[in-house]
Amino acid sequence: MKHFVLAYAMNDALPTITREDLSRLTHINLAFGLIKDGLLDLSQLTHIDLLEKFREWAPAIRIILSVGGWGAGGFSHMAMTQEGRERFAASCREAVERFGLDGIDIDWEYPCSDQAEIDCDPADKENFTLLLQELRRQLGEKSLSIAAGAGEYFIRDTQMERVQEIVDYVQIMTYDMRSGFSHEAGHHAALSAGAGDESGLNTRAMVELFHKAGVPLSKLVVGAAFYSRRWTGVENRNHGLLQKAESVGIGGPAYSDLTPEFLQKGGFTQYWDEDAQAAYLWNGSEFISFESPEAVALKAAFVKEAGLLGIMYWEHSCDSTRELLKAIHQELG
């Protein structure tokens, strides 16, 4: 079985993608198309002309347009009517045809929820399914996927047993599992449960959650984080792990910014949690959760062990060293 290795790449990251990167990837997810007046809007993807070069370098690469992302609204209102769904799906089909794309990835964060401060409605649960059905009808054999939040809330607010029949695969965002809503410092992208952590906020638990909700393991893609989460004012116990923090888990440095100079300046020591199979930094008051090459390699090994489809990561520009992508490729490539 050939496993997927998918890179989410924002517009400014596209010019940094190299021929060697493409040799280690199966997919590029262009982040993001948005919704404007109920239709697909690509105005922010100013480097989309680079796709022709990517295909010259790697003819087998699959280029997928991801629509949505955190704080991207318009889904709920658009999906409320059959006419709205048809118009939006038609605009997606036209973009696929115009740019020679291989499919559409829907990143609606999150149906039935206003946590991203976007429009929502209780009817989103059913309309999410109906939207995907219309996209499938209009896209035909082109790829259709979703990015799914890693938590019970996404299962509750969608119909995954029906969704999985429509889409080609489901990408679980197994990062930010502890994030900007959590005052407990801990791993935000752990593979397994750490000692004393009964939250279920880990990759293995999320895979089991989605599988029990009806998604075949062979349709599941897990996520790796090429960026960190940082907590400040953390109680100085257990190296800050699972301790109360003054801050929530704010966005931390990109992986390539976690240099020896950064660690020395901040007084950080790097630790490895053998139970959670996750790395972190601690300096007595600040806790930084990040994914090391060892951590992403173990996630990739889990993909093979569990019979999953693959691994994706957010976001390509966060690792200029390419150490993380190399570790994934060595395990799956």
E strand or H helix that includes residue 329: helix 323-332
For range 279-288, the mean pLDDT: 98
| CB-based contact 285:222 (threshold 8 Å) | no
Q: How far apart are CA 333 and CA 123, in angstroms?
A: 42
For range 210-226, the mean pLDDT: 98
Rg, C-alpha atoms of the chain: 19
E strand or H helix that includes residue 312: strand 310-314
User: Is 208 marked active-site?
Assistant: no
pTM of the entire predicted model: 0.98
Could you tell me if residue 221 is left (phi over 0), alpha (psi between -120 and 50 degrees) or otherwise beta? Answer: beta
Q: How far apart are CA 187 and CA 16, in angstroms?
A: 29
CA neighbor of 266 nearest in space, from 230, 236, 319, 235: 230
What pLDDT does 333 receive?
Answer: 82
What tokens does 55 get? Answer: 């295909």
Instruction: Kindly name the residue from 109, 134, 291, 331 that is annotated as catalytic.
Output: 109
Indicate whether 1 pLDDT > 90: no
User: Which alpha helices (H) appear in 8-159, and where do they start and end?
Assistant: 19-23, 51-57, 75-78, 82-99, 124-139, 152-156
Q: Tell me, what DSSP letter sits at residue 186?
A: -
With cut-offs at 50, 70 and 90, classify the pLDDT of residue 180. Answer: confident
What are the pLDDT digits (tens) for 6-61?
A: 999 999 999 999 999 999 999 999 999 999 999 999 999 999 999 999 999 999 99
Measured in whole angstroms, the distance separating CA 239 from the mean position of its chain's CA atoms is: 28
Q: What's the CATH number for 4-226+292-332?
A: 3.20.20.80
Handedness of CA 130, 168, 165, 172 (dihedral sign): negative
What are the pLDDT digits (tens) for 96-110?
A: 999 999 999 999 999
Neighbours of 39 (CB within 10 A): 17
Q: How far apart are CA 90 and CA 96, in angstroms?
A: 10
**Domain segments of the chain as ranges:** 4-226+292-332
DSSP conformation letters of 66-92: EEE-TT---HHHHTTSHHHHHHHHHHH
